[in-house]
Chains A and B, each alone.
Chain A
């Protein structure tokens, strides 16, 4: 195996990592503030992908415009999801396990809803992939460079939001202790709603870039990707967006580089083997523990 092949694998891993980073940061932000795992998150990806399909194929919008609009619409879906489904349980302080089961049920409901609306057939965007570009020994299509750029821009935006905005500070405060945040005058309900909007927006975006990446997609798009998202989130430390970014990078690159060395069947095994090692030796995640969000 030549070094150039490994380097190529790193480049391919960057693309996977970009898709993974968008989705895992969306999931972990929501967890950091609400403190429960949303198993329906994969469906935000699916909904985003299908909304972009409607905009791209139905209204003939450019794929990147469709992606951005689909992200906004998915944010609204996530916000409604919280208002209609989640809040009635959180208001009654339902145990975490109840919320997990509710989100699993909603995952199935939403996936079947998308299938009922759009059918089980493959869908594809009107989005010519373009020619291959050679960048420092790596191979990318123009589309893939866009995906990497969008992910990088989103990560910078999330960082700026968390670090420098009032909303980000409030989110970080809630992540440490929502009771203390409430006592301090932070409107926790409103902040939670903003977080659902942000989580939905990132989920929608990542659904579209995932759909572009896999070429064709079905209603199972998001749920099939969910377990890899969890791997990145757990690796980074649940609730830590910077950790999720790093987790996405490690998982994405490890999967692609391993496929250069081993039988491809072990690709997912490699990702989960890294995860198990993390859980054994550093269960708090890869980044130093100083509060979440």
Chain B
């Protein structure tokens, strides 16, 4: 009887444990910024822990650079900008309470994030709360969104998926492809565009596999892929799963199969997880350009180096920077920090028509001179379509043996159009 009770109690406790773990997740922490008179608060909701914990800090770096520039120029309509963060842990179970809590306690006037892993779990709430949100991430679930307050500053994975296939077929001419995705929404959204583009161009997709993250072993899955004899593996896995999978792939003799990944595999954390020397040898990641060329990117690189002791901008940081600038400029254009008022001016400052502007100071001066502006971002033109998505170029990046990302080849929007 005791054992039966124990089993029931254990089972119910498993559920309780899950709930408690969710409730106890670090929800929000103040990000240290010097307070000013009547500051306005921008929330950065992103994974700062969990399976894609690099997204939060990387995005925040770019937001910090923008905020420094904005506050140095007197803030937004006289308000200094302050940042608060919410840790979504990359999991909807944690994201929903974390976002609710930050909205209730910090009263932000805009949000940046969350990423693809959790945006769909909070998107309705953000829109209903009439909070302007600039999400960062490529999930194809947002390709045709119709939310007034939600915008996306990174190109869709459907575009990146096509770019991954373009790199593999047009530049490397691989003929037999294995697809390997993590069993999460973010990775799954890549499957269709990659697979359909590969098949359209005559590539034999010999294996299409999704794996549950964080297992202690993937040897059977590795053996299935090896049995299919692919020329290349297209992949998006979180770093922990990637570490286990690719170490076993090497153990079982597949260490010389090239890998084509996306922005997740382009992170330093991923390269560290699978081994930098292996990443340098076999991995190429196709992603939005880490930094677009042109005056906006040059300004951003200069600001970034000033903020972070001479460092180069890291992946995703430019998206955070652009998101923050667009929000601030829309407020200035609307002469209001109220999201229900300035939301109508987001496209006005980002899309033009107007005079091209490449940084906040220049843009603010143009607006004050009663000129229409067209903000050009550090990550690209940042022109929103009718579904509030941006289009952009891609680039294939590799790792050096010291773990630094370098550009292998650029892929233009013209290359991808109709491919």
Question: Which residue numbers of A lie inside 8 Å of B, CB to CB?
Answer: 5, 8-9, 12, 15-16, 19-20, 31, 35, 37, 39, 96-97, 100-101, 104-105, 107-108, 120-122, 129, 132, 139, 141, 210, 213-218, 220, 224-225, 227-228, 230, 234, 237-239, 255-257, 259-260, 263-265, 267-268, 279, 283-285, 289
Distance (whole angstroms) from the CB of B173 to the closest CB of chain A: 28
Given the known interface contacts A132-B252, A264-B209, the answer about A213 and B217 at a Cβ–Cβ threshold of 8 Å is: yes
* Contacting residues, chain A, for B247 (C-beta < 8 A): 129, 215-216
What size tier do the contact residues of chain B reach?
A: 35 or more
Contact B220 A237, beta carbon cutoff 8 Å: no
- A108 touching B14, Cβ below 8 Å: no
Return chain A residues, CB-CB under 8 Å to B30: none
Extra 4 A-B pairs, beta carbons < 8 Å, given A9-B223, A285-B3 = A31-B6, A104-B20, A213-B244, A259-B218
Inter-subunit contact B6/A37 (CB<8 Å): yes
User: In the complex, which residues of chain A have a beta carbon less than 8 angstroms from the beta carbon of B17?
Assistant: 39, 104, 107
Decide yes or no: A215 and B243 within 8 Å by CB, A19-B216, A139-B252, A264-B221 being known contacts. yes
Residue contact B243 to A12, C-beta cutoff 8 Å:
no
State whether A108 touches B223 (Cβ < 8 A): no
**Is B169 in the interface zone, CB < 8 Å from A?**
no
Residue of B nearest to A107 (CB): B17
Asked if B125 is at the interface of the complex by the 8 Å CB criterion, the answer is no
List B residues at the A interface (Cβ < 8 Å).
2-4, 6-7, 9-11, 13-14, 16-17, 20-21, 24, 49, 53, 183, 209-212, 214-221, 223-224, 227, 239-240, 243-244, 247-248, 251-253, 269, 272-273
What's the least CB distance linking B12 to chain A, in Å?
9
Are the C-beta atoms of B13 and A265 separated by less than 8 Å? no
Q: A8 and B7 in contact (CB under 8 A), knowing A122-B269, A214-B240, A230-B14?
A: no
Q: Which residues of A contact B49 (CB under 8 A)?
A: 120
| Bound CA–CA A210/B20 (angstroms) | 26
B252–A234 touching, CB < 8 Å: no
Bound: A15/B252 CA distance, A: 14
Check A256/B21 contact, CB under 8 A, given A97-B9, A283-B7. no
Please report the C-alpha to C-alpha distance between residue A104 and residue B22 in the assembled complex, in whole angstroms: 12
Q: How far is the CB of A11 from chain B (nearest CB, A)?
A: 8
